[in-house]
Every structure is written in C-alpha cells, then in structure tokens.
Chains A and B, each alone.
Chain A
Amino acid sequence: MAALGDGDLEALEGLYDRYSTLVFSVSLRVLHDTQLAEDVVQEVVLRLWRQPSSYDPTRGRFISWLMSVTRNRSLDELRRVTRRLRSEDLEEEPGRELPAPEGVDDPQAGLLLAERRAAVRAAMTRLPPAQRRVIELAYFGGLTQVEIAQATGDPLGTVKTRVRLGMQKLRESLEEFINEDGAVDDGGGIWT
C-alpha cells in the first residue's frame, strides 16, 4: 500500500492482476452488465491509486475491505440505474468463465485465495436452497428483508429465520478462515 502511495505504477499493476478478475466477477454478479461491472473495476482500482489511505489495515484484511467496497459500489450503481434484477430471473451472466480448476490453479488470485474461494463456494452450495436464496438476494441484490419477503412471497419472519440459519451455517463452515480477533485470514500476501 505504501508503494501505491508513492505512485508506483508497478504496484498498481500487481494489484490489478491479482484482484481485478475477482472484483469484476463480484460486480458482474450484482449488476449483470459487463460494461457497468468494468466501470466498477475501474473506479475501485483508481480509488486505491488516488487514495491508498482509504484502506485502513487496522480495520481488517485487505480482501474483506476490497470485497466490501466492490459490493457497495456495485449496489450503488445498481440502485442508480434502478435495475432490481434478481438472480432467479437471470440467464447466465455474460462474460467468459475462467477455465482454471477452482482452488488449484487460479491464475488471477493466487493459490490461497483460490482455496478460500473454493471453501466459500462449497459452504454456499451446502446451504438449503431457500437459505442460500435469501442470503444472495440480500448480499448481491441489496434487498432488505422486507423487500425479500415481498419478492418471494414468504412471510417476513420466515425470511429472517432463513437469514439467521444460513449465516449460522456459513459461520460454522468457514470458521477456519476467521481469526480469533474476528478478522478474515486471506492467506497473507502483499496486501495484508
């Protein structure tokens, strides 16, 4: 991060090469629009370039911060264009899925990050579909629980229970990736 502060373009290229695919993928999952997702990648990367201090290492790991910024910026864009698309209504996202085997040879994010991705994907897959759905609508769709209840036709209490149970199960499944102090361990690297 200090190198970014010094205006080191090679550091920025390193950051881009390591994380841009992940940032793009998350943004695409929220926006379902390749062009808008690329805009978000550009904004997130240039924000770090212009203001490296926007990431505060004392408040958590870089990957957590980056995912949070990416999601929030994508949701802002989603609300701005008032595209409230929901995952169940969508065809496969545009773009080419990377052929690399998950968790073994991820060319963009590094082995440790890929392992975590594989673990999170597995944990999400193990959730009952109804629980996974409400969590994805909240996280990627930016919907409130009231809006989820309206969208799915389920009682609000049921939505709340599904969120709770789903988050509990994710917590149990992913416990090994959370340090004792609550910070997510993203496996070290230049940004931790």
Chain B
Amino acid sequence: MTPEEREELLAGYALGSLSTPDALDADRLVRTDASAEAELRAFREIADLIALSVPLRQADPALRQRVMSAARQGRVWRPALWRRYWPVAGLAASLLIVTFWAVSLQTSLVHLRQQTEQLSAIVEADAKRLDKLGDPTAPGVQQANAIGVPLSQLQTTASDQQVLIAVQTDPAAILGQFDTTAASHGASGQYVWSNNADAGVVTVRDLPQLPLGGAYRVWLEDGLSRLMVARSFAPDRNGKAEIVLQADGKMKPVRIYVVAASRADDPRSTGPVVLLADVTRASLSSTLVP
C-alpha cells in the first residue's frame, strides 16, 4: 500500500464513506499501526468540524417550548404522522390496502407465534431426538408435521438449540462486548464465542433502522483475513436481535463484524461496519462459566 493509498483509506474511513471491504482494511490497519490510529483520529476531528460549515438557520421558535415541555413531562414528543407522511396520506386507496395487509400480517404473526411455542415445547421435551430430525418417522418430526411446521424450520431451530447448549456448557467460552464504529449510531452488543464448539451467540440492541430492502449481516474473520458471512438477520423494531453463529470448522474467527448490507437479497452487497469485536482481545473478555 502506497502512502497515498493509506491516506485515502484513513480519510475515507474518518468520513464514514468506505464500502465494507475498504472499511475492514482500514480497521485492520488502525489496529495494527499506532501511527495510522493517530492519523485517523486527526482526520476524524476534521470530519467533525465540517458540520460547522453550514449556514445557520432559525428553527421554529415554538420548538423550544415543545422540547422543554417534553423534558418536563419526562416523555418523548413525537411528530404527528400525518405531517411526516402528508403526501402519502392523501392516497386513501393505498391506505385501505395497507390496512388489509396489516390485518393479514397480524393473523400470520399470531399463527407463527403459536407454531413457535409448540415447536419449542417439542424441542425442549425431547432433546435426545434432535439428531433424528432427518427421520420422517421420528415422533418429534411427525408432531411438527401435524402442526404444519416445515422440516427446514424445525431443523434450523433444533440446530440453534444445539449450538446454544454447546456454547453455554463450554467452560472456555469467551464473553465480550462489541466495539462501536462511526456507523454505530448508538448501537451496542455483546457476544459469546466457543472455540471448542466453533460457534457463538451475538446479542445486539439499538441497531439503526435500515432502508427498505437492506439487511444486517454478521461476518467472521480468521487470522488469515479470510471472511465468511455467518448469518443475515433483521432486528426487531427496537433494534434488538439475537443471532446464533456457527463457523464451518475450517476457520478460527478472530473478529466478528456486524455489517449493514444495502440489499438483503444479494449476499455480495456490502455496507458500513456497525459493530466489531476482537475475539482474541483478552482485556475485553472473560470466561463465561467459572
């Protein structure tokens, strides 16, 4: 890497304008080179100053009263939806369609919740049969079929359960916090990783909402800088999610990245790194089970 390329990388990283592969390169550089870290810090301070270049504009004087009123009442004032979505509000026909869709979705969610509860009961009651999920005659599989749960869903749930058990019972499992980035925007998270099980669990919260069509992905990186997409996920409306990870056994992850991908349907799509964790960093880690 030439000095110019290095500076381009750090300047772009400070502005938050790098794509995921470049951001990973920049992160790696900063972690391994103290002078690069200092340079990035200086660029970030410059980036923060750029905001001061805007011409000053006067907000509605009534805003001050609204903010103070909300603070006094200890509640968050939220703008009326009609004001934010005024152009859409006029489309009465669309509203009807959306209403119908919402009712259908609610019905589906109730049904799915019931299925999940039944499925959990099956898995919990008969953990010894998890290895027999490929057998259509196994009682657990027959019970799942009876309530309309697809076999693939049953296998995924069962697999996640097995991973969870393996991670939680590993006395050497590592517990750590995610580091934030310029794209975190208040998000945070922690992870548990078991090298013995080649698996782990990630818990995140306050993840920013993504544009329609986007998705979050968890990437694993090993000591040879090889990357593997471990799982895609969508957080709930509060930005929370729990993700079970399983490495392929060929790589030993040293870092975990949570990345905001621009397109959920394209596994090659990339975006900014929102959270990152160095699994090998002892200072942030402690054993999960004494």
Contact = CB atoms under 8 A, between A and B. Distances in A.
Contacts of B52: 22, 67, 113, 116-117, 120-121
A12 B51 contact: no
B68 A16 contact: yes
Nearest to A117: B52
A98 B79 CA distance: 25
- If over half of A's interface residues share one DSSP class (helix, strand or loop), that class is named, otherwise mixed; here it is helix
B48 interface: yes
A49 B70 CA distance: 10
B67 A45 contact: yes
A68 B15 CA distance: 11
B56 A25 contact: yes
Interface string A139-174: 100111110100000000000110110011011001
A25 B54 contact: yes
A142 to B, nearest CB: 8
Interface string A35-48: 11111011101100
Contacts, number: 194
A51 to B, nearest CB: 10
Nearest to A137: B17
Interface residues of A, number: 80
Interface of A: 9, 12-13, 16-17, 20-22, 24-26, 28-29, 34-39, 41-43, 45-46, 49, 54, 60, 63-64, 67-68, 70-73, 75-76, 79-80, 82, 93-98, 100, 106, 108, 113, 116-117, 120-121, 123-124, 135-136, 138-139, 142-146, 148, 160-161, 163-164, 167-168, 170-171, 174, 177-178, 182-184
B50 A182 contact: no
Contact of A64 (B11, B48, B56, B66): B48
Contacts of B272: 144
A30 to B, nearest CB: 9
B57 interface: yes
A163 B8 contact: yes
A82 B46 contact: no
B34 interface: no
Contact of B54 (A29, A94, A142, A143): A29
Contact of A161 (B8, B46, B58, B63): B8
Nearest to A160: B8
Give the interface centre of B56, B79, B183 by most chain A CB atoms within 10 Å.
B56
